[in-house]
A and B are shown apart, each in its own frame.
Chain A
Amino acid sequence: MNGVLTPTRVVAGILFAFMAISLALPGSASTYGVLAYLAFVGITMVVVSGIRKEPGSWLGRRSVRRCLVALIVAVCIGLIATPPPTYNSTSGESSTGPLLALFMFMVLFNIALGRATQRVVSAPETVVDEREEALRNRACRLAYVILLVTVGGVLLVADLAGEQSRAWLGATVSWSGWLVFGELLFILPTMVLAFIEPDRVTPEPGEIRGGSTARQRAAAALLVVSFGIPVVLSVALAVLPPTVSTSSNGSIVMTTSASGVTPVTDCRHFQADVIVGHGIQADIPVNAMACWNGTRAAESYGMGKSDCNQGDSVAANVRTLACTSATLPDGTLTFRYRAFVSSSLLPFLGRTVTVEVIIDKNGHVLAFP
């Protein structure tokens, strides 16, 4: 498996394929967008990983490298502690938690760590000297033992301990556990190397190694775009107006009462999707039917408390602020669903969306997105 098909690349390909299949199965445009972004991040990582540049005096210090390792460990613990995306059908709240922010911090720290260690662990045999070869082999051995104890130990203890630990294991294995396992698999040797390697001696100008300047510039540009896209999309979610798509069909419903009379009621089906954001987005849908008879309008379905449900969302949190449905004394039916939508990357940045459906007693639609 020499050359292009190295085990690391095959594993990365398989992991990406799994992610792609799981994301592509729902088949919506937003998931294809996520897939395209992940592919872009993958290309960025490939370009960045090919660059070996002197870490500089700051990243060359062991204490700084150890701090970076501690930060990555903290992010991994945070990811493991982050529960799977939740949706509360009672309150209508959904949240992906800090997953996206943690993931971006992890990528950032990984890049810094790669720079600090000059990516010695993944460098080809031809570009490392004897000292570096011995150091990376030792780092890999220590890292393997740490991996064995942490992953093997956690799996064994959690699977044996009891009901709650098994439930946690089941949820983690099917969620962020794979992300952390991938991090340990690909980055742990670099973390150990960064931890054990002594302070670097600043090299003489003639000794400086590095990739081509063009490649470094391309990597820097790709990095800026990779990190910029989620930030821009998070800001866009708060700034740009929502996209609304609606459809409404009238119908006549025949109902049979207990007395055997069959009164005729006019009804209308309301379907709306208010999509907040682009890429990082949430769908606030309405799917309801209202009927009227000249005296009053009433809900047929889709306007209850349990109907204030968010639709598909990508890296966005939705918090229901209000969900009310009432028929006023003059027979007008009012349904109001108000929610706060924010990006899970910048949760303090968001916008409030109100979806209203108002129909008077004669079936006139007074408000509808």
Chain B
Amino acid sequence: MISSSRRSLDLAGDRRRRRALVTIILIATGVLASALPPSLGGYGIIPVLLLTTLDLVLIRSTRGLAFARGKSLDERERSLRDHAYRVGFRWLGLAVAILLIVTIVSTIIAAWLFPMVGAPSFPSDLNIGIAGRGLFAVLEILCMVPTMVIAWNQPDGAEQPDQAHDAPRQRGKALRLMWLTLPLVLVLWVLDVTVVPVQAASRNPNFSSSTRQTGAKCQDFVSGRVVGGPFGATVGLDATVCWNGTDASLVNDPSLRICGGNSNDDFASVTETCTTHTDSGGTLQYVVQARVSPLPFSIGSRDVTLTLVVSRNGIVITQP
């Protein structure tokens, strides 16, 4: 059983299967970089781990040539590796350009298909840098292109290294150890979403909106919290408040249908509850309460509360 699974992972001698694997990795990376689906629903780590597994299989099929140290290679292998990097440089540009096109086109399609979804992963009114799935796709391309070139070009029945020599034996050991990457990625991600302090997210200056109401003054409030950076979740508050001296009111989402706004739940599920209340003095209180859960059964979950209080005269008493 073990030897059969080892054989199925060893694609070193079969160029057709290696090329199929490269194609699958490229398509999967493109899908991950796209804005479709708008949300990964907290399961983003699964495609990341699957892609990492495919990467490791591909690295194994090329015997880690792209990452091997010069001392462990003979002259032919060194020449092959260096040539792959030169070709890889050209293909890297093409891959990044295609990723860019995929991202832009899919964002337009997502905005057209899901106009009322409050949380497409990007773009956002918040300064969230690069969304986690996009960042992983870029890093995937950067790290894997030379290996893909080698896997694509290496002919069928490539020579097996002589295991009697020290250098190939060390490479074999390194190839076995590389499988530790999978649990390492998982542990780092869990630490990221459960331990790293919650960070603030301010408004993206590239986005602006203006709301007018007769006899009242209005202001947009856009803010949020980032849990676990790009590989976690974002809880957003997007409120347009108008006041007229008598009372302040929430005008962009009075029925709280969208709730929050700009939230991103690709790598951790986000459960939001929104409440709004205008007291007898005309002061509006808008609260977004969210639970961010990276793991099932709310293990390691974190609570985030965003509160906005605006008086009837437009004085901001509390804002996130």
Contacts and interface: CB of A to CB of B under 8 A. Distances in A.
Interface of A: 6-8, 10-11, 14-15, 18, 134, 136-138, 140-141, 143-144, 147-148, 151-152, 155-156, 158-160, 162-163, 165-167, 169-171, 173-174, 181, 185-186, 189
B50 interface: no
Contact of A185 (B79, B92, B135): B92
Given A15-B97, A152-B139, A185-B93, A137 B202 contact: no
22 contacts: A7-B90, A7-B94, A11-B96, A137-B82, A140-B88, A140-B89, A141-B82, A144-B88, A151-B142, A155-B130, A155-B135, A155-B138, A155-B139, A156-B139, A159-B130, A160-B229, A162-B199, A163-B127, A163-B200, A163-B201, A167-B202, A174-B206
Interface residues of B, number: 38
Given A11-B93, A14-B97, A144-B85, A159 B142 contact: no
* Majority DSSP secondary structure for residues of A touching B: helix
A196 to B, nearest CB: 13
B202 A163 contact: yes
A158 B139 CA distance: 14
A152 B199 CA distance: 22
A165 B201 CA distance: 11
B22 to A, nearest CB: 15
Given A148-B142, A170-B129, 14 more contacts: A7-B94, A10-B94, A14-B97, A141-B81, A143-B85, A147-B142, A152-B142, A162-B199, A166-B129, A166-B226, A170-B127, A170-B204, A170-B206, A181-B96
A7 B138 contact: no
B142 A140 contact: no
B143 interface: yes
Contacts of B43: none
Contacts of A165: 129
A140 B82 contact: yes
Contacts of B204: 167, 170
A159 B129 contact: yes
Contacts of A18: 100
B101 A159 contact: no
Interface of B: 79, 81-83, 85-86, 88-94, 96-97, 100-101, 127-130, 135, 138-139, 142-143, 146, 192, 199-202, 204-206, 226, 229-230
B85 A137 contact: yes
Contacts of B100: 14, 18
Q: Which 5 A-B pairs have the closest CB atoms?
A: A137-B82, A166-B129, A140-B86, A11-B93, A141-B85
Nearest to A135: B82
B172 to A, nearest CB: 22
B130 A173 contact: yes
A163 B204 CA distance: 11
The residue in B86, B202, B205 that gathers the most chain A C-beta atoms within 10 A of its C-beta is: B86
A138 B82 contact: yes
A368 B97 CA distance: 50
B81 to A, nearest CB: 7
A158 B93 contact: no
A6 B201 contact: no
A252 B201 CA distance: 50
B206 A158 contact: no
